Chain A
Amino acid sequence: MDQNNSIPAFQGLASPQGAMTPGVPIFSPMMPYGSGLTPQPVQNTNSLSILEEQQRQQQQQQAQQANAGLPGTSGQTPQLYHSQTVAGSTTTALPGNTPLYNTPLTPMTPITPATPASESSGIVPQLQNIVSTVNLGCKLDLKTIALRARNAEYNPKRFAAVIMRIREPRTTALIFSSGKMVCTGAKSEEQSRLAARKYARVVQKLGFPAKFLDFKIQNMVGSCDVKFPIRLEGLVLTHQQFSSYEPELFPGLIYRMIKPRIVLLIFVSGKVVLTGAKVRAEIYEAFENIYPILKGFRKTT
């Protein structure tokens, strides 16, 4: 009903516009019992048990959807991707975004009014690199690891960590003697977590009491192509507070978007690189923000 291809990431969150029931800060026609976090209209009798079960169902549904590997089209809720994988460190995922079923009890109140003018680009940035960290929770003897593990490099004179690689998912890990580890090179959040777990298992098999504490995605990089050439000079003139363009230093324009806090490298060819995201949604949001601006600076010759 309100699906006109804009990211409905904020559907059902804090948009009281159109809510017909006063006093209910979050109300969506597709959430009969709501998220359980806000006061609800008096419809439920055994509220506690139903809400708990509903939250569990929603989490399972989110798990299924995340595991089914839904493509990150701009018409889907991007928060689903990390709500399952990153335990406790998500910033935005709220249970209850997934509609369970429509009941006749709930009036069809439109939440997001139809956005005028701008349509979505139809282009989805592809994730190219994910950097994550995890704490294995115990001190490690790097020389033992380098001597016994496969595909490991250790040159303490140059760098104080073991550099280990695995083939599936194709990633590289930096393992420090404190027990902390950095995992780079994965193409998705789930792959990054899986790879980090594989490294932890390697370390564990070598005899260290490795745990898997505080896994956190630190950076995500995406790229895409707008398929038309761009007038970087024009862009830097109008958006000079955000842009820096030194063609003699680097051929791309560096655009530092404030909201979301993402850095974009924009090239004359129309290729765009987005980096600095902690969650996938930030990449998508940043691209949707920049696309109309880029369209305005399309090269016509």
Chain B
Amino acid sequence: MAYQLYRNTTLGNSLQESLDELIQTQQITPQLALQVLLQFDKAINTALANRVRNRVNFRGSLNTYRFCDNVWTFVLNDVEFREVTDLVKVDKVKIVACDGKRHTEYK
């Protein structure tokens, strides 16, 4: 049971929309869609943990922070995301972060 954190990403949302379409056209059951999403959770978590090597730095000013249920939520303003190759600037970014090393599962 991995974090379901990544379901609300571009990739995760596309998957959920596709699964909803298949359910509408009766090609799969909702139970199967749920299993697909659980498998997606496992896959994305292990992929990010093991197959991602690049590093991005970011710097901005902290607007708000929250820590509840072991989940950090930050809102930063005027942020610069810096990778070796390029630089991206944004006015506002919301960061939701779960613990990398965890003892119990959280949804």
Q: Does B70 contact A (CB under 8 A)?
A: yes
- What residues on B are CB-neighbors of A150 within 8 Å? 64-66
Q: Is A194 an interface residue (CB 8 A)?
A: no
**Cβ of B77 to closest chain A Cβ, rounded Å:** 13
B47 within 8 Å of A by Cβ? no
Please name the residue on chain B nearest to A143 by beta carbon. B68
Listed residue (B66, B67, B68, B70) with the most chain A CB atoms within 10 angstroms of its CB: B68
- The reply to whether B66 and A146 form a contact with Cβ atoms under 8 Å apart is yes
Which residue from chain B places its CB closest to the CB of A144 in the assembled complex? Answer: B68
Chain B window 55-92, contacts with chain A (Cβ cutoff 8 Å), 1 for yes, 0 for no: 00000000011111010000000000000000000000
Cβ B64 vs Cβ A153 within 8 A: no
Interface check A147, CB cutoff 8 A: yes
Using a CB-CB cutoff of 8 Å, which residues 138-186 of chain A contact chain B?
143, 146-147, 149-155
B68 contacts A147, C-beta separation under 8 Å: yes
Q: How far is the CB of B42 from chain A (nearest CB, A)?
A: 26
Kindly state the separation between the CA atoms of A128 and B65 in the bound complex, as whole angstroms: 26
Chain B residues, CB < 8 A from A143: 68
Size of the A side of the interface (Cβ < 8 Å), in residues, is 10
- Contact in complex: A155, B66 (CB < 8 Å): no
B66: A residues at CB distance < 8 A: 146-147, 149-153
In whole angstroms, what is the CA distance A151 to B65 when docked?
5
Q: For the complex, what is the distance from the CA of A147 to the CA of B64, rounded to whole Å?
A: 12
Nearest residue (CB) in B for A150 is B64
Instruction: With CB as the reference atom, state the residue of chain A lying closest to B75.
Output: A150
Chain B, 23-69, CB within 8 A of any chain A CB: 64-68
The complex places the Cα of A164 from the Cα of B105 at a distance, in Å, of 26
**C-alpha gap A146/B71 in the complex (Å):** 11
Q: Is the CB of B67 within 8 A of A146?
A: yes
Q: Given the complex, which residues of B lie within 8 Å of A146, measured CB to CB?
A: 66-68
Inter-subunit contact B67/A154 (CB<8 Å): yes
In whole angstroms, how far apart are the Cα atoms of A196 and B70 in the complex?
A: 27
Q: Which residues of the other chain, B, contact A151 by a CB distance below 8 angstroms?
A: 64-66
In the complex, what distance in Å separates the CA atom of A293 from the CA atom of B68? Answer: 51
A193 to chain B, nearest CB (A): 25
A153 to B73: give the CA distance in the assembly, Å.
10
Instruction: Compute how far the CA of A150 lies from the CA of B67 in the bound complex, rounded to whole angstroms.
Output: 10
Interchain residue pairs A-B with the least CB separation, the first 8: A153-B67, A146-B68, A150-B64, A154-B68, A147-B68, A151-B64, A151-B65, A152-B66
A-B contact pairs, 24 of them (CB 8 A): A143-B68, A146-B66, A146-B67, A146-B68, A147-B66, A147-B68, A149-B66, A150-B64, A150-B65, A150-B66, A151-B64, A151-B65, A151-B66, A152-B66, A152-B67, A152-B68, A153-B65, A153-B66, A153-B67, A153-B68, A154-B67, A154-B68, A155-B67, A155-B70
Add 4 more A-B contacts to A149-B66, A152-B67, A155-B70 (CB < 8 A): A150-B64, A150-B65, A153-B68, A154-B67
